[in-house]
């Protein structure tokens, strides 16, 4: 099946929203801030969540699968690295991404070091306060203190984007050589309309792609774009650190009409 896209288009090129000089200036601020701020990992459980393409042959350990196979001692070690305010109590809890008990960074590192779990996005930073639930990412959300203090230029840029209101704002970075595992963020049959968001990549090229059911890939056309996250998508490996920022929310009606297919 071909990509669903936005009105059949794999990407909507939004490069008219910011020139290269603007994005380059943001990159200076962002990379300096990342050197000082605590970040965490994300991803690592796409296969267990059932959001990878049929027949996907990536054999790198998935933390959902690893957790299901831990013996009692190993599970106790894992649980001991949790958040005392929201502890892992038993195996019946939904642990990890979009679950009842989010992973701590210590748990992620242990899963990586002790069990070889591959976390694609090893530099992850949330710039707004959200519930953490994927289905609530478009709900209005205030910026974090760290974002306001360390990323003021970036915050001003995001606030000026054509949204009626802004929800989740997250930075997703990949280390040199890492790839973003192919996945989709929902089932096409459950989607009434494409989720409203803008992605921009201020730094070195980040080759995000969408993929059809035959495996044919189309790489993002510019440093700023929109795509349908219910299509299969991932990030190609490159020998440098690269990142993008995804801004969710509700588009300004005039902007939505301008870019509508």
- Taking only the tens place, the pLDDT of each residue in 84-128 is 998 888 888 889 987 889 999 999 999 999 999 999 999 999 999
**Percent residues over pLDDT 70 in the chain:** 99
Task: Give 192-231 pLDDT, tens digit per residue.
Answer: 889 999 999 999 999 999 999 999 999 999 999 999 999 9
Residue 187: pLDDT over 90: no
pLDDT reported for residue 145: 98
* Among 201, 173, 198, 208, residue whose Cα is nearest residue 249: 198
From the list 147, 134, 137, the residue with the least C-alpha distance to 167 is: 137
Which CATH code of 2.60.120.330, 1.10.1740.10, 3.40.50.1980, 2.40.50.140 fits the domain covering 11-39+120-259?
2.60.120.330
Residue listed under structure tokens 């995000």: 208
pLDDT tens-place string over residues 137-179: 889 999 999 999 999 999 999 999 999 999 999 999 999 999 9
CB atoms within 10 A of CB 239: 7
Could you give phi then psi for residue 113, rounded to 5 degrees? -80, -40
- Within the chain, where are the H helices? 20-36, 46-49, 63-69, 72-80, 105-115, 145-150, 152-159, 253-259
| Start-end of CATH 2.60.120.330 domains in the chain | 11-39+120-259
Confidence (pTM): 0.95
């Amino acid at each position: 099946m071909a990509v669903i896209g936005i009105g059949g288009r794999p990407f909507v090129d939004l490069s008219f929203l910011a020139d290269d000089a603007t994005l380059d200036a943001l990159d200076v601020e962002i990379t300096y801030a990342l050197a000082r701020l605590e970040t965490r990992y994300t991803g690592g459980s796409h296969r267990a969540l059932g959001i990878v393409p049929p027949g996907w042959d990536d054999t790198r350990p998935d933390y959902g699968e690893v957790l299901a196979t831990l013996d009692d001692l190993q599970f106790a070690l894992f649980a001991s690295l949790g958040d005392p305010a929201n502890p892992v109590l038993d195996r019946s809890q939904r642990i990890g991404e979009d679950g009842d008990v989010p992973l701590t960074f210590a748990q992620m590192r242990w899963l990586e070091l002790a069990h070889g779990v591959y976390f694609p996005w090893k530099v992850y930073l949330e710039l707004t306060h959200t519930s953490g639930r994927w289905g609530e990412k478009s709900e209005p959300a205030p910026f974090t203190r760290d974002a306001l203090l360390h990323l003021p230029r970036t915050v001003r840029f995001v606030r000026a984007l054509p949204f009626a209101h802004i929800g989740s704002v997250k930075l997703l970075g990949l280390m040199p050589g890492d790839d973003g595992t192919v996945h989709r963020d929902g089932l096409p049959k459950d989607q009434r309309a494409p989720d409203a968001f803008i992605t921009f990549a201020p730094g070195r090229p980040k080759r995000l792609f969408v993929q059809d059911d035959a495996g044919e890939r189309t790489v993002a056309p510019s440093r700023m774009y929109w795509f349908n996250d219910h299509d299969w998508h991932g990030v190609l490996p490159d020998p440098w650190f690269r990142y993008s920022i995804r801004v969710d929310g509700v588009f300004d009606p005039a902007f939505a009409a301008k870019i509508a297919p």
